[in-house]
Amino acid sequence: MTRVAAVQMASGPNISANLAEAERLIAKAAAAGARLVVLPENFALMCMHEMDKVKVRETDGKGQIQDFLARTSARYGIWLVGGTVPLAADDANKVRAACLLFDDKGQRVARYDKVHLFDVHLEESNEDYAESKTIEPGNGVVVVDTPFGRLGLAVCYDLRFPELFRRMVQENVEIIVIPSAFTAITGRAHWEPLLRARAIENLSYVIASAQGGYHANGRETHGDSMIVDPWGVVMDRLPRGSGFVMAEIERSRLQAIRRNFPALEHRRLPCTLP
């Protein structure tokens, strides 16, 4: 069994303050026995204006946020998922929303760039989001070996696109991490059912780390970070506020579920329409 944790924050526009809060929570999770810790999307910066993240974007492999992730993972001897980090894009006016995985020696072992960008209008609250104006999408699926199992990386809005996770299954995924910053409105409606669906249909553990609370830019995020097992059972959750959720994942349990309920082996794609 491996103890894993998902951190929940309400990040603001001050990078140093956000990193200090992230380390405080990482330290508590590590002290409680977590070997894998997942930070939420935008953990280091929830900007006042969307172009702010472009101003502080980092080159790949170098910068304050990436140095923090490397140093912190090594300091606490944990594998650490750095929610999203604004990295340089081909377009000088955009960033890549990069989800980075570091091992317990502080070495980066994987990078996933958010594929699906949140361009929506929410009538209920009159909120407009246009991530594509400042974020350049990725185009790859990332699943890597870890001591805990085959781990796949996804970010927030990706959660709504099951075909991405089916591609992970082709790469033998066993644990899916989903750093997020769901809005309060969409989170209340869809967050839990989507997380449980991704766990159930892919017979995988899901570790969902979320922003949760009110932010200096006026935004409200849903929170409710949770860890879900391959049968769709919510093992731990944090509805609101800063903190973390923790659970023990068992690779043997996952393998037993897949063996006794081999739905992944039963997949068939019809060749023609009826």
Any catalytic annotation for residue 41? yes
> If we measure between CA atoms, which residue out of 137, 196, 201, 135 comes closest to residue 163?
201
Q: Which residues contact 86 (CB under 8 A, 6 or more apart)?
A: 45, 53, 54, 56, 57, 58, 65, 95, 96, 97, 98
Give burial (CB, 10 Å; 0-12/13-18/19+) of 108. Answer: middle
Q: How far apart are CA 25 and CA 31, in angstroms?
A: 10
Any catalytic annotation for residue 265? no
For 213, left (φ over 0), alpha (ψ -120 to 50), or beta? left
Any catalytic annotation for residue 62? no
Q: Which one from 21, 41, 131, 136 is the annotated catalytic residue? A: 41
Rounded to 5 degrees, φ, ψ at 251 are: -65, -35
Q: Which one from 99, 131, 136, 156 is the annotated catalytic residue? A: 156
Q: Which one from 114, 131, 136, 174 is the annotated catalytic residue? A: 114
Among all residues, which ones are annotated catalytic? 41, 114, 156
